[in-house]
Amino acid sequence: MRKIVLLGIIIAFIIVFYLNMNQEKEIRVRVIPSSDEATDLRVKEKAKDITICYIKEAYDKDYDVYSKNIKATMNAFEDILKKELGESVQVEFANHTLYNKTYNNSAVKNTEEMTLYIIIGEGKGSNWWGTVYPEFLSVSGTEEVKYESLILSIFKKVKGE
């Protein structure tokens, strides 16, 4: 009986491990303002626009390359945000949990995923978020601001151009 239970536990472990290995990796982005005051929400919108330009420029179809692009330029990106927003900003790229939500008529599962996490000031306001890998989801509602020259300068600096 013990052998059967032990064998069942081992099989269950292998199945769970196999299912986790075959899940598609995601990269998400979250921008959290200092508060929900109107001025802080405007700063969040500006940060969102800058971030969209940044993650579009960093994008690669290969998950590992995309992650490396973000990691290699994250500090310079944080400096740009601080300069452009005139606020304290903290940028992280790590596993974060985004709890069950619906987005673009589909469910987002409650899992830990790599997330480009941008915290402005106290970071106590309502966040903007999206999934940017494997598919780059477009964001509606505001017109995109052009910051390509700033973003391109980060990548040229990292590449030594």
pLDDT tens track for 34-85: 999 999 999 999 999 999 889 888 888 899 999 999 999 999 999 999 999 9
Is 10 within a domain?
A: no
DSSP element (H, E) containing 91 = strand 89-98
The number of folded domains in the chain is: 1
Q: Is residue 123 part of a domain?
A: yes
What pTM value is reported for the model?
0.68
Q: Is there a domain that residue 83 lies in?
A: yes
- Indicate if the alpha-carbon torsion angle 90, 94, 95, 99 is positive or negative: positive
Flag whether 20 is in a domain. no
- Are 93 and 68 in contact, with CB atoms under 8 Å apart? no
* Percent above pLDDT 70 for the chain: 66
Quick check: is 87 in a domain?
yes
The answer to whether residue 15 is domain-embedded is no
* Element housing 130 (H / E): strand 128-133
Is 44 domain-assigned?
Answer: yes
Q: Which domain holds residue 130?
A: 25-159
Does residue 116 lie within any of the structural domains? yes
